[in-house]
A and B are shown apart, each in its own frame.
Chain A
Amino acid sequence: MKLELIGITKRFGSLVANDHIDLVVLPGQVHSLLGENGAGKSTLMNVLYGLYDPTEGEILVNDKPVTFKGPGDAMAAGIGMVHQHFMLVPVFTVAENVALGNESTKAGGMLNLQETRTRIRRISDQYGFDVDPDAVVEDLPVGVQQRVEIIKALVRDAEVLILDEPTAVLTPRETDELLGIIAQLKADGKSIVFISHKLREVKAVSDVITVVRRGRVVGTADPSAPTTELASLMVGRSVSLTLDKKPSTPGEVTFRVRDLTVQAANGQHVVDGLSFDVAEGEILAIAGVQGNGQTELTEAIMGLQDHVTGSITLGGNELVGRSVKEVIRAGVGFVPEDRSVEGLVGTFSVAENLILNRYDGAPFAKGLSMSRAAIDKNAEEKIAEFDVRTQSASSAAGTLSGGNQQKVVMAREFSRPLKLFIASQPTRGVDVGSIEFLHRRIVAERDAGTPVMIVSTELDEVLELADRIAVLYRGRLMGIVPGTVSRDVLGLMMAGMPADEALAQAHDVQGGNL
């Protein structure tokens, strides 16, 4: 099926989310839509899927103009969409989910799931999905849930499959499996629209790349084009690629964690007997696939977790059992992993967010009374220093872009003398310019002699920043390796292999290959 978008424009009020976008998707082709967050990719796909009416422009299917009143029309025309966040009923089985909205019935309105099961098995076998129609969706890993979404589209005879940021929630391994599935679908004559901002994947999977920036198509590229070229197309300027990071000069070890165990509500040890040190002037990165105890580890240090045993000392003072406020007062700066949930109060102004954990100390408060002047002055300084792009200091923090929100959090944490700096996912959902800036600030803090702990699930970020890397797997430490270690070793460790074995194996394989 040939799909064409001609001059699609979508406006929300005065905001132009899509500006005359043209796109042609040919059968058996993987067409990638590359662009930063907020570039208008999802809006375009929602137009295509019938969720939004385009303000202007038309959609052609096999050279015939069509209008979609809703997803139903789009599906009927052979367009299937896998949303970034799955549209599945968690307590339903795979078959029930697939049948939902498209149920075949027997006499008397009884559901006929048997037919759905058969079709699921057929598709599953055809593409090697390995999906059990009777499994309950909530018990399935994320990667398999995504396949259920793909099956949903295929059962409805989709010819064009839109995958919206499909790898955002996947582990590296699941990502590989997905890319394999895409190749098979393509071989089978299906067209794929692959939406992503991850250059590596886009280059690996695409036949054609269309780059979108600020709602416009800024160019098409061949997958063989150099990464730098794609990136500058996408960002709109050349990007500085290297972080000038001097080798670390570790000083005294001031932060020690010993036998730290965090028990979850269900009795499971989500952090299990961790021991490590961070010295002044070094960055220790905590790597690992999301959900292996990183969140609980940082929360335990901050005093946000109950049921913590073991010891955490900073400059000789025990932190376990202290309140959050006491930990903050002890000089711990903390950038939480989800800034909109834990880092910021979205409805508060930027100025208020900049003092969120210092509101009751000098110079912002005298007794119970807060000083507007001091708060505004602080906001002005920090906004300038961290180049926070906001209309004013009194704008609600929730209206800022991800990168600017993160700058607000960072600015707040760096604005007091620190004895330890912890940042969880410091650049998740942050634009390129801000990433450079934030990374430089983190390294500057290290160079100023502060022990720094970075928690990141992005291997690249870990390799970029870390002086030493600790890998967590199911709450346990797989070992601590130098920051110069290879990706492969980290990959093995993240999959649960102790450091020495991983180093040995990676060495063997490399030796064998060479």
Chain B
Amino acid sequence: MTPQDDKPVPSPTDGEAPLTRRDAKDTARKDEARLENAVETAGGAVPPPAVPATAAALGAGPAPESTLMQRIMTGNALVAFLSVVLSLILGGLLIAVTDQNVARTSSYFFSRPQDMIGAAWTAASSAYLALFQGSVFNFEGDSFVRMIYPLTQTLTVATPLICAGLGVALAFRAGLFNIGAQGQILIGATFAGWIGFTLHLPAGIHLLLVILAGMVGGAVWAGLVGLLKARTGAHEVILTIMFNYIATNLVLYFLSTPAFQRPGSTNPISPQLDATALYPPLLGPAFRLHWGFVVAVLATIFVWWLLERSTIGFELRAVGANASAARTAGVNVSKGYILAMAIAGALAGLAGVAQVSGTEKVLTSGVAASFGFDAITVALLGRSSPWGTFAAGILFGAFRAGGVAMQASTGTSIDIVLVVQSLIVLFIAAPPLVRALFRLPSPGARRARKGGSTTPTPASTGAAA
């Protein structure tokens, strides 16, 4: 592709004479050269550009693949909100369709359609009402404690989701797609749990050590991924997926060794953690909500500060948004990858701590449930921002906590919650679909990109004429 001529002896006036066909000299020529030089490299300071700025901004991004990921992971708040709404509506339809009353009334739909419509409404609304009652406020409760118990359950479930979600979000801001929160939670929980039931230390110190161990466990597990990526260029998605498998089976193996089993038992379950190693209840013994939630709030504040107000965050964001510019500006990109993964892992490790020394109080192979994978969705819904992730974590906590109550009271399967969660991801990943459904104005770039299938994005060349 190198545009070079092999023949080194072109005519002496090569590149000049055929163009001007005259022997312009001295001042006149110099003026002209100056002018043409100026004009030849003319850029678009003068509005309007032919392509709206959004397209230009997109064109200025790094690889198209990462741009797409970036768009999905840091999308529009309105689209995120509408995705949730849309998913709930579709979930409601699904509840109605699978409801027995609806099925029965549909057999005589044409004679009395209102029966089926009524039944469908009842099925969906009662299921969602149960979901709400089970996750936010139970107005049928006979005491205040019973009434707000669902909300505390939501926050309890949200705690590991927030911590791990922050890890995914932070890694993403550094340009890393961290699928490995699940493994990081497990390893973090294993470290924390082992300290919790093996060492017997005074209150305070013990818990602190447990938290630290959990963070170190997650950080090491994720940091290894960062190290491998930085050193060998291996892709973090493949690495983290494989590390998840390793972590899952490693924990299973640990739980088959005496060091992790209860004395005299061969079940894959660890001894109960010492009371000194547990998060104290936050609102008294009536609730399961523990201090881990406060840690999650602090973690959110910390991540916000780290990303928005610290030099480390500046580096990580620069690496994530444009690694070659970051490198040119003197940022050590390899170090950035390792650091981002290690911090992400530490946050996921906190989620492991919340599980093992807050909610579960023992280490089992199922201690991480599916929090690590839900965390990806949470970060996605939260648009990779710390407070967005926090809010999304609470929403998903509510789904999970309320889903149980919904299944108990209306018989609607908790799996419907999973469907709703999956739909949310689907809609967020396809913003044009949501925009089309709600007739939102599409961003200006879309029209220009329509032609982009056959023409290059002019903005990417900086020469939109």
* A positions within 8 Å CB-CB of B: 12-13, 15-17, 33, 35-43, 46, 51-52, 71, 83-85, 87, 138, 141-143, 164-165, 168-176, 179-180, 195, 197-201, 203-204, 213-215, 227-228, 231, 234-236, 239, 241-243, 289-292, 302, 304, 323-325, 327-329, 334, 336, 340-348, 352, 356-357, 359-360, 365, 368-370, 372, 389, 396, 398-399, 401-404, 406, 427-436, 458-461, 463-464, 474, 487-488, 491-492, 495-497, 505-506, 509-510
Given contacts A176-B18, A431-B42, contact A398 B465 (CB under 8 A): no
Which of B3, B32, B42 contacts A227 (CB under 8 A)? Answer: B32
The answer to the question of B415 belonging to the interface, with a C-beta cut-off of 8 Å to chain A, is: no
Question: Does A37 contact B463, Cβ atoms closer than 8 Å?
Answer: yes
A-B contact pairs, 6 of them (CB 8 A): A197-B42, A234-B42, A239-B39, A345-B321, A346-B57, A396-B57
Q: How far is the CB of B150 from chain A (nearest CB, A)?
A: 40
Contact code string B10-51 (vs A, CB < 8 Å = 1, else 0): 101111101111000000001111111111111111111111
Question: Does A505 contact B12, Cβ atoms closer than 8 Å?
Answer: yes
Contact code string B450-465 (vs A, CB < 8 Å = 1, else 0): 0100111010011111
- Cα A173 to Cα B7 in complex, Å, equals 11
Residue among A35, A42, A239 facing the most chain B CB atoms (10 A cut-off): A42
Question: Does B60 contact A344, Cβ atoms closer than 8 Å?
Answer: yes
Contacts of B57 in A (CB 8 A): 346-347, 396, 398-399
Question: Does A432 contact B465, Cβ atoms closer than 8 Å?
Answer: no
- Cα A344 to Cα B314 in complex, Å, equals 13
Q: How far is the CB of A262 from chain B (nearest CB, A)?
A: 16
Question: Does A179 contact B311, Cβ atoms closer than 8 Å?
Answer: no
Contacts of B463 in A (CB 8 A): 37, 42, 84, 165, 168, 429
Contacts of B331 in A (CB 8 A): 324-325
- Cα A141 to Cα B15 in complex, Å, equals 18
Residue of A nearest to B13 (CB): A488
Q: Across chains A and B, which 4 residue pairs bring their CB atoms closest together, nearest first?
A: A38-B44, A460-B37, A172-B15, A402-B43
Stretch at the interface among B275-283, B322-330, B360-368, B391-399: B322-330
Residue of B nearest to A341 (CB): B324
The answer to the question of B309 belonging to the interface, with a C-beta cut-off of 8 Å to chain A, is: yes
The answer to the question of B268 belonging to the interface, with a C-beta cut-off of 8 Å to chain A, is: no
The answer to the question of B75 belonging to the interface, with a C-beta cut-off of 8 Å to chain A, is: no
Contacts of A492 in B (CB 8 A): 8-10, 12, 14
Q: How far is the CB of A94 from chain B (nearest CB, A)?
A: 16
- Cα A251 to Cα B139 in complex, Å, equals 85
Q: How far is the CB of A472 from chain B (nearest CB, A)?
A: 11
The answer to the question of B310 belonging to the interface, with a C-beta cut-off of 8 Å to chain A, is: yes
The answer to the question of B56 belonging to the interface, with a C-beta cut-off of 8 Å to chain A, is: yes
Contacts of A336 in B (CB 8 A): 328
- Cα A90 to Cα B57 in complex, Å, equals 27
Contacts of B461 in A (CB 8 A): 84-85
Question: Does A35 contact B324, Cβ atoms closer than 8 Å?
Answer: no
Question: Does B310 contact A370, Cβ atoms closer than 8 Å?
Answer: yes
Which of A302, A431, A505 contacts B328 (CB under 8 A)? Answer: A302
Given contacts A39-B46, A39-B465, A85-B461, contact A497 B39 (CB under 8 A): no
Residue of B nearest to A165 (CB): B463
- Cα A329 to Cα B330 in complex, Å, equals 9
Apart from the given pairs A35-B465, A40-B48, A83-B455, 18 other A-B contacts in the complex at a CB distance below 8 Å: A33-B465, A36-B43, A52-B451, A141-B2, A176-B14, A195-B465, A239-B35, A289-B4, A291-B2, A341-B322, A359-B311, A401-B45, A403-B44, A404-B45, A461-B41, A463-B33, A491-B10, A491-B16
Which of A85, A180, A228 contacts B35 (CB under 8 A)? Answer: A228
Q: How far is the CB of A499 from chain B (nearest CB, A)?
A: 13
Question: Does B10 contact A42, Cβ atoms closer than 8 Å?
Answer: no
Contact code string B153-189 (vs A, CB < 8 Å = 1, else 0): 0000000000000000000000000000000000000
Question: Does B34 contact A241, Cβ atoms closer than 8 Å?
Answer: yes
Contacts of A234 in B (CB 8 A): 39, 42
Which of B9, B39, B40, B45 contacts A434 (CB under 8 A)? Answer: B45
Question: Does A12 contact B15, Cβ atoms closer than 8 Å?
Answer: no
Given contacts A304-B327, A325-B332, contact A345 B318 (CB under 8 A): yes
Q: How far is the CB of A37 from chain B (nearest CB, A)?
A: 4
The answer to the question of B239 belonging to the interface, with a C-beta cut-off of 8 Å to chain A, is: no
Given contacts A12-B448, A198-B39, A356-B329, contact A173 B15 (CB under 8 A): yes
- Cα A174 to Cα B3 in complex, Å, equals 9
With an 8 Å Cβ cutoff, the count of chain B residues facing the other chain is: 82
Contacts of B321 in A (CB 8 A): 345-348
Contacts of B5 in A (CB 8 A): 171, 173, 495-496
Which of B35, B41, B328 contacts A231 (CB under 8 A)? Answer: B35
* B positions within 8 Å CB-CB of A: 1-5, 7-10, 12-16, 18-21, 30-54, 56-57, 59-62, 70, 309-312, 314-315, 317-318, 321-322, 324-332, 444, 447-448, 451, 454-456, 458, 461-465
Contacts of A168 in B (CB 8 A): 463
Q: How far is the CB of A282 from chain B (nearest CB, A)?
A: 20
Question: Does A356 contact B60, Cβ atoms closer than 8 Å?
Answer: no
Question: Does A83 contact B456, Cβ atoms closer than 8 Å?
Answer: yes
Residue of B nearest to A204 (CB): B19
Residue of B nearest to A356 (CB): B329
Residue of A nearest to B59 (CB): A340
- Cα A39 to Cα B50 in complex, Å, equals 7
Contacts of A327 in B (CB 8 A): 330
Given contacts A42-B458, A165-B465, A242-B30, contact A37 B15 (CB under 8 A): no
Q: How far is the CB of B301 from chain A (nearest CB, A)?
A: 14
Q: How far is the CB of A471 from chain B (nearest CB, A)?
A: 12
- Cα A430 to Cα B40 in complex, Å, equals 9
Question: Does A12 contact B19, Cβ atoms closer than 8 Å?
Answer: no
Question: Does B46 contact A431, Cβ atoms closer than 8 Å?
Answer: yes
Residue among B14, B19, B54 facing the most chain A CB atoms (10 A cut-off): B19
Contacts of A52 in B (CB 8 A): 451
Contacts of A324 in B (CB 8 A): 327-331
Residue of A nearest to B61 (CB): A346
Question: Does A17 contact B41, Cβ atoms closer than 8 Å?
Answer: no
Residue of A nearest to B15 (CB): A172
Contacts of A334 in B (CB 8 A): 328
Q: How far is the CB of A75 from chain B (nearest CB, A)?
A: 11
Question: Does A432 contact B39, Cβ atoms closer than 8 Å?
Answer: yes
Contacts of B21 in A (CB 8 A): 204
Residue among B35, B314, B444, B465 facing the most chain A CB atoms (10 A cut-off): B465
Which of B8, B36, B52 contacts A200 (CB under 8 A)? Answer: B36
Q: How far is the CB of A348 from chain B (nearest CB, A)?
A: 6
- Cα A476 to Cα B31 in complex, Å, equals 31
Residue among B32, B39, B49, B309 facing the most chain A CB atoms (10 A cut-off): B39
Contacts of A474 in B (CB 8 A): 4
- Cα A33 to Cα B35 in complex, Å, equals 18
Question: Does B34 contact A243, Cβ atoms closer than 8 Å?
Answer: yes
Given contacts A431-B46, A461-B41, contact A346 B314 (CB under 8 A): no
Contacts of A365 in B (CB 8 A): 311
- Cα A169 to Cα B40 in complex, Å, equals 13
Which of A17, A40, A290, A403 contacts B45 (CB under 8 A)? Answer: A403
Contacts of A359 in B (CB 8 A): 311, 314-315
Q: How far is the CB of B386 from chain A (nearest CB, A)?
A: 16
Question: Does B43 contact A398, Cβ atoms closer than 8 Å?
Answer: no
Contacts of B455 in A (CB 8 A): 46, 51, 83
